[in-house]
A and B are shown apart, each in its own frame.
Chain A
Amino acid sequence: MEIFKYKKPLSLMNKSKRFGLLSVTILILSLGLIIGKGFNYGIDFAGGTLIQVQYEGQAPIEKVREAIDSDTSYEGATVTFFGGEDEVVIRTKTSSKALGVDVGDQIRTLLQETGNFEVRRVDMVGAKVGSELREKGLMAMVLAIIGILIYVSFRFEWRFAVASVMALMHDVTIAMGMIVLFNVEVNLDILAALLTILGYSLNDTIIVFDRIREGIRTIKDPDLGGIIDESVTRTLSRTTLTSLTTFFVVLTLYLFGGEIINGFSFTLLVGVIVGTYSSIFVASPILMWLGFSVGGFRTKEAEKLKREKEKEKMRAMYENGTL
């Protein structure tokens, strides 16, 4: 079966302004959401207690709310359905430091009258741990980006590194915007998802860049735009296919993976779409705007080749004893 058959290059770079505008608009909207509304931090980062309770049959959510409200120390606690109709999740900002006094135990006592239930999960994170986790998460993100910058600069050229990191930030920012928009609770697994997007989107971008690098060497076109067009078109089928298979898998995770990994798979779903888009329409134009010069790159490559040749010659001479 063939879907994408390479015939002639799509003229993408001519339209790069339009894609740029689209990206910038979505970026601004996302940033607006992140700054304006802010993340809905879950207990991993904000601290607090989460209790997941499963009832036999329909959960009496109103009764649960009443029971929780009857204790003033749980002010601001929320009770929501979780997954199906039989499970509820209670979130409170309270956390108990003492080993003997447990918020989970207290809530269980409060709920005694509401019916037959089983407490399936109690997560409690102290405020201090929460802020520590948040700092560590941010640190991980920054370090990952620096590591990538260094590697790509080393393997390609600094402009490729900057372009790929900008594309990454584009993807992660938009994914974050969607997280805020859909009010997904930000926990450790969401952080993992964001870092996965980082990896995935980078993967996509690097493969396109690899083709561009190859294109610079093999395609006669002196214009970078033309080379990018041709290279992107040549990778289009791979990019789309891989994105599709990954998308399938993440979609099954989203649909059948259960409520607990819903946030995680949602974030990935967004990431796969944005990551694919950015590797085609965002990363390459940035490369152009950064003033990447084909001639310069070719000269450098030629010099590198020359140096290697000379080294080989020297070695050969040395081995033959003529030096």
Chain B
Amino acid sequence: MKTLNFRVILFAFALIFGVVFSIPSLTQSESGKKITLGLDLQGGLHMLLGIKSEIAIESRIKSMAASVKYIFDDEEIIFDALRMVDGEQITFELLDKDDVAKAKALLKKELEGTVIIDNGMKFSVAMTEAEVERTKQNAIQQAVDTIRNRLNEFGLAEPTVAKQGEDKILVEVPGIKTQEDEQRIRELIARAAHLQLMAVDEDRNIRVNTMSLAEAKSYGDVILPDVNTGEKYLLRAIPVLDGSMLTDAKVGFDENNQPVINFTLNGQGAKIFGDFTGVSVGKRMAVVLDNKVYSAPNINERIGGGRVQISGRFELSEAHDLAIALRSGALLAPVYVMEKRSVGPSLGADSIKASSMALALGFILVVLFMVVYYGMAGIIANVALIGNLFLILAIMSLFGATLTLPGMAGIVLTVGMAVDANVIISERIRELLYAGKSIGKSIEDGYSNAFTAIWDANVTTLIAATVLYAYGTGAIKGFALTMSIGIMASMLTAIVGTHGIYQWVLPKIDKNKLGLWFGIRTGGAK
């Protein structure tokens, strides 16, 4: 027997590599890199969220209006008709001509990223396009971070939260067992978690049930309902505090052993809160979350230390989720669902079972066929096929690729197509043997003749797979990935691997037993 050649050694390495690195995935052991199962196979929740970034922009305009008022009041510039127009710009009018230059300079200094147009005394301030874009991106990034924090705190295994495309957020949460859990997760994500502490307008609150929203607005008030009873409150529109001054939120229990949320304010918040409660003894202060009043206790004394409690007849799980949302911060802009897919764990398991069975059956069929049709050449091809399968698994494990249902179909298909290279080679060898060439020459020429066909065919398929990967989403990407890996692995195993094996065993091939070796009756070296 000839000594081992580099092709066999390379193939042996590939095989060992394949087996070693696919073991963690096959045994599902804790250590080592392994293939992650897609949500369609292990069950879970997949969501594509959109974000209403126009809301973030509007609130930015609102805060610009507040700054304008603050700056001008501070500098004693007299102005009138401060308005927000279409949620895109603010307009106002100066009353004193002498203030124009001063106002312009102030606006330029204090309001970054804005375009200020003045028409004599009439001003309009809008955000620059870059600023609008920055605000949008900021809202998305902030939403991604907030949602990630919330899901991480919820305590489920490996949630994925990522920005997708320009303005979408991809959320994937594997391993959700019940519909109730799924609902809780959705609500947790959706929660704006906008916390405000607001003063009750005690002077007018008595008339709240007959007051119109417009009338309330004219007093600088808003009307908000109680979350449980629906009772209405008349509240001062400018809050005493908001959630941005919160440092921590925890679930606790009150004297009746009802779950409550205790939160802590930062230094500034604690001071404002202390001052406010100090001057408001005997009045009520409403704890408002996402525009609903949770409680409106009476202030009996000045409250220092910055500790506040929300009670609102919570379920324990509800209080828990609320605390997470408060801790993780508010969403700058609300999110909505663009796409949602949830797969129950039992369906995922069924899918794995069904496609594994198809894979095994298809594989056995192909292997048997090759042996029956080509004899030893078929066995050599099958070695390549098995090597190919291990290589696909190993490469996918190393990349930490996600195996999806179409991905499994991709593997099944690769098995069908990987034989192709072997068939082409075997047919070429047979042809040359019929033509009366020696076995060694037939093998060498068979490989070189078959090479261009295999190369061109695989490269074109690879082009299609690459495009599929670039344009596909989720499951399609998985399919394209497994197919591409399969094609490359099959080129290595079929062209290099089997060639090496032939060269290695060549001295053993008996020219009188071509039926056994190549499955043919006639031909052979003369």
Chain A residues within CB distance 8 Å of chain B: 1-3, 5-6, 52, 54, 95-100, 102, 104-105, 108, 118-126, 128-129, 133, 136-137, 139-140, 143-144, 147-148, 151-152, 155-156, 188-189, 191-192, 195-196, 198-200, 202-204, 206-207, 210-211, 214, 234-235, 237-238, 241-242, 244-250, 252-253, 255-258, 260-261, 264-265, 268
Contacts and interface: CB of A to CB of B under 8 A. Distances in A.
Given A248-B416, A253-B413, 17 more contacts: A1-B373, A105-B179, A121-B344, A123-B341, A123-B342, A126-B50, A129-B339, A136-B473, A144-B463, A151-B463, A188-B472, A192-B472, A195-B464, A210-B457, A247-B416, A264-B406, A268-B413
B453 A207 contact: yes
Chain B: interface size category: 35 or more
Top 6 A-B residue pairs of the complex, sorted by shortest distance between their CB atoms: A99-B190, A258-B354, A249-B362, A246-B416, A249-B416, A140-B471
Interface stretch (B70-78, B102-110, B364-372, B388-396): B364-372
B29 to A, nearest CB: 27
Contact of A151 (B346, B372, B423, B460): B460
Contacts of A133: 473
B417 interface: yes
A242 B362 CA distance: 13
Nearest to B518: A2
B463 A147 contact: yes
Contacts of B346: 54, 118, 120
Nearest to B371: A1
Contacts of B453: 206-207, 210-211
Contact of A119 (B179, B361, B427, B452): B179
B242 interface: no
A124 B339 contact: yes
Contacts of B48: 129
A198 B33 CA distance: 33
Main DSSP-derived SS at the B contact region: helix
A253 B409 contact: yes
B476 A245 contact: no
Given A144-B468, A210-B453, A258-B354, A123 B340 contact: yes
B475 interface: yes
A21 B134 CA distance: 60
B420 A99 contact: no
B20 to A, nearest CB: 27
Main secondary structure of the interface of A (DSSP, over half): helix
Contacts of B190: 98-100
B464 A241 contact: no
Contacts of A148: 460, 463-464
A244 B347 CA distance: 31
Contacts, number: 247
B337 interface: yes
B466 to A, nearest CB: 8
Interface centre among A202, A234, A245, A248 (most CB of B within 10 A): A245
A122 B401 CA distance: 24
A17 B59 CA distance: 70
Interface string B511-522: 000000001110
Given A100-B186, A123-B340, A246 B468 contact: no
Contact of B424 (A104, A155, A207): A207
Given A123-B340, A241-B423, A210 B456 contact: yes
A202 to B, nearest CB: 5
Interface string B328-356: 00000001111111111011001100110
A188 B476 contact: yes
A70 B437 CA distance: 78
A319 to B, nearest CB: 27
B464 A104 contact: no
Given A144-B464, A206-B453, A245-B419, A250 B413 contact: yes
Contacts of B369: 244-245, 248
A143 B362 contact: no
Interface string B396-430: 00000000011001001101110110011001001
Contacts of B419: 242, 245
A86 to B, nearest CB: 12
15 contacts: A100-B187, A119-B344, A120-B343, A122-B341, A136-B471, A137-B471, A144-B468, A195-B468, A203-B420, A207-B457, A242-B417, A246-B416, A252-B358, A258-B350, A258-B354
B362 A252 contact: yes
A258 B419 CA distance: 25
B483 A196 contact: yes
A129 B461 contact: no
B475 A196 contact: no
A199 B350 contact: no
Contacts of A202: 457, 460-461, 464
A200 B417 contact: yes
